[in-house]
Amino acid sequence: METELEKYMSCAMELTKQSSQLIRDRIWSEKKDIQTKSHRHDFVTETDQEIEKLLITGLSSQFPDHKFIGEETTSSGVKAELTDKPTWIIDPVDGTLNFVHGYPNVCISIGLAINKEVVLGIISVPVPNLMFSAVKGCGAFLNGNPIHVSGCKDIKDALLALELSGAAGVSERIETCKKLVATFLQNAHGVRSAGSAAYNMATVALGGADCYFEIGIHAWDMAAGDIIVREAGGVVIDPSGGKFDIMSRRVICASSMELALQVGGMVDQHYPERDDA
């Protein structure tokens, strides 16, 4: 018999497939309705809004007592509140800047938290149609096939993913970012920047990258990646080395605790305003 979590997963998966088709149809179309949000590099398109509406409408019609934290709903002024109730944490287009430019690292990211723990996640990369998924205790999958982190334990053997967008428009952070990139480049095999937190986390789950670090992102960027990385055998922690807090806007995920702590020890610890502030 289907468990509750399996029921939630099949509904969310069906809606994600519909939403992924919208991204495939539009990513290279001439006309995109684009607006800026908090600053001049922070975009929203009508596709972000349409997909968030499609997902929330579809899920709430099946599960009327569930709660939602969505990127675009929150941007419109609704407070992000994580309670113990089942809460879908949704980024309809993670990598909106990529989408705007037609750079294909674009994801749909959906996590379901129960008792404040993410227990189910889906990351779709519509181009070229990669579907990452995980349910607590059942492993992580890419297009239905099991995936595992690399197991890398030392930065000297690692490919690192990071994003520096927290420094956009914040001149005092530019120098810190330069130092960070230099440190990573000197110590690791290489550094990659995909432009999407969900994409980075899915890549760690897959074993394609060994570690991903970012400060300044949001619960909707990390929720699905959190469970997918953990179910793939990886770790998700706060960059200080403490417990991961989904509302804190801070994350390191890695193929091993050794690597996560090593990278955490090299980064500048700053604390942006929380998602639930």
Q: Which stretch binds ligand LIP (CB under 6 A): 93-101, 203-211, 232-240, 269-277?
A: 93-101
Q: Binding of ligand LIP at residue 217 (CB under 6 A)? A: yes
List the helix and strand counts (H, then E) for the chain. 8, 14
Smallest distance from ligand LIP to CB 138, Å: 25
Smallest distance from ligand LIP to CB 123, Å: 11
Q: Binding of ligand LIP at residue 108 (CB under 6 A)? A: no
Smallest distance from ligand LIP to CB 2, Å: 31
Smallest distance from ligand LIP to CB 224, Å: 11
Q: Which stretch binds ligand LIP (CB under 6 A): 6-14, 22-30, 87-95, 234-242?
A: 87-95
Q: Binding of ligand LIP at residue 183 (CB under 6 A)? A: no
d(CA 159, CA 164): 16
The bridge status of strand 190-192 relative to strand 159-162 is: parallel
**What's the number of CA atoms in the CB half-sphere (13 Å) around residue 14?**
9
Q: Binding of ligand LIP at residue 75 (CB under 6 A)? A: no
Work out the burial of residue 25: count CB atoms within 10 Å of its CB; fewer than 13 is exposed, 13-18 middle, 19 or more buried: exposed
The bridge status of strand 211-215 relative to strand 250-254 is: antiparallel
Q: Please, which residue, 2 or 32, has the CB nearer to ligand LIP?
A: 32
Q: Binding of ligand LIP at residue 226 (CB under 6 A)? A: no
Q: How many residues does the chain have?
A: 277
Q: Please, which residue, 70 or 139, has the CB nearer to ligand LIP?
A: 70
Residue nearest to ligand LIP (CB): 165
Smallest distance from ligand LIP to CB 266, Å: 19
First-to-last CA distance in the chain? 41
Q: Which stretch binds ligand LIP (CB under 6 A): 21-29, 61-69, 92-100, 121-129?
A: 92-100
CB atoms within 10 A of CB 36: 10
DSSP string, 40-101: TT-EEEHHHHHHHHHHHHHHHHH-TT-EEEEHHHHHTTPPP---SS-EEEEEEEE-HHHHHH
Q: Binding of ligand LIP at residue 71 (CB under 6 A)? A: yes
d(CA 1, CA 18): 26
Say which amino acid occupies 240.
S
Q: Please, which residue, 152 or 215, has the CB nearer to ligand LIP?
A: 215
Q: Binding of ligand LIP at residue 96 (CB under 6 A)? A: yes
Say which amino acid occupies 218.
H
Which residues of this protein are in contact with ligand LIP, per CB under 6 A?
Answer: 71, 91, 94-97, 163, 165, 196-197, 214, 217, 221
Which residues line the annotated binding site?
Answer: 71, 91, 94, 221
Which residues line the annotated binding site for Mg(2+)?
Answer: 71, 91, 94, 221
